[in-house]
Amino acid sequence: MGLHPDQNAPFFHADWPAPAHVKTLITTRNGGISEGVYRSLNLGSHVGDRPEHVEHNRQTVQAHISAPVVYLNQIHSTTVVRTAEHIGQSPDADAAVDNTATAACAAMTADCLPVLFCDKAGTVVAAAHAGWRGLAGGILQNTIAAMNVPPIEIMAYLGPAIGPDAFEVGQDVYDAFCAQSHQTEQAFEPIGSGKYLADIYALARLTLQREGVSMIYGGTHCTVLERDTFFSYRREKQTGRMASIIWLDNR
Q: Identify the pLDDT of residue 4.
A: 56
Please determine, for residue 162, whether its predicted confidence score (pLDDT) is greater than 90.
yes
- Mean pLDDT score, 215-223: 97
Spell out the SS3 assignment of 50-119.
CHHHHHHHHHHHHCCCCCCEECCECCCCCCEEEHHHCCCCCCECCEEEECCCCCEEEEEECCCEEEEEEE
Please determine, for residue 7, whether its predicted confidence score (pLDDT) is greater than 50.
no
Q: What is the distance between the alpha carbons of residues 241 and 49, in angstroms, rounded to a whole number?
A: 10
pLDDT above 70 as % of the chain: 96
Query: Which residues, in sequence order, are bridge partners of residue 44?
Result: none
Angle separating helix axes 139-147 and 200-210, nearest 10 degrees: 40
Query: What pTM did the predictor assign?
Result: 0.96
- Mean pLDDT score, 15-37: 97
Please determine, for residue 2, whether its predicted confidence score (pLDDT) is greater than 80.
no
Terminal-residue alpha carbon distance, the chain: 28
Q: Identify the pLDDT of residue 250.
A: 85
Query: Mean pLDDT lowest for which of 8-17, 131-140, 235-244?
Result: 8-17
Q: What is the residue type of 54?
A: V
Please determine, for residue 1, whether its predicted confidence score (pLDDT) is greater than 70.
no
pLDDT above 90 as % of the chain: 94
- Mean pLDDT score, 8-29: 92
- Mean pLDDT score, 87-113: 98
Q: What is the distance between the alpha carbons of residues 114 and 121, in angstroms, rounded to a whole number?
A: 22
Spell out the SS3 assignment of the chain.
CCEEECCCCCEEEECCCCCCCEEEEEECCCCCCCCHHHCCCCCCCCCCCCHHHHHHHHHHHHCCCCCCEECCECCCCCCEEEHHHCCCCCCECCEEEECCCCCEEEEEECCCEEEEEEECCCCCEEEEEECHHHHHHCHHHHHHHHHCCCHHHEEEEECCCCCCCCCEECHHHHHHHHCCCHHHHHHEEEEECCEEEECHHHHHHHHHHHCCCCEEEECCCCCCCCCCCCCCHHHHCCCCCEEEEEEECCC
- Mean pLDDT score, 148-163: 98
Give the pLDDT band (50/70/90) at residue 9: low
Please determine, for residue 235, whether its predicted confidence score (pLDDT) is greater than 60.
yes
Q: What is the distance between the alpha carbons of residues 138 and 211, in angstroms, rounded to a whole number?
A: 11
Q: What is the distance between the alpha carbons of residues 83 and 22, in angstroms, rounded to a whole number?
A: 16
> Contact 170/194 with Cβ under 8 angstroms?
yes
- Mean pLDDT score, 193-213: 97
Query: Mean pLDDT lowest for which of 6-10, 39-43, 51-55, 227-231?
Result: 6-10
Please determine, for residue 50, whether its predicted confidence score (pLDDT) is greater than 90.
yes
Which phi and psi (to 5°) does residue 224 adopt?
-75, -45
- Mean pLDDT score, 67-93: 97
* Number of Cβ within a 10 Å radius of residue 196: 19
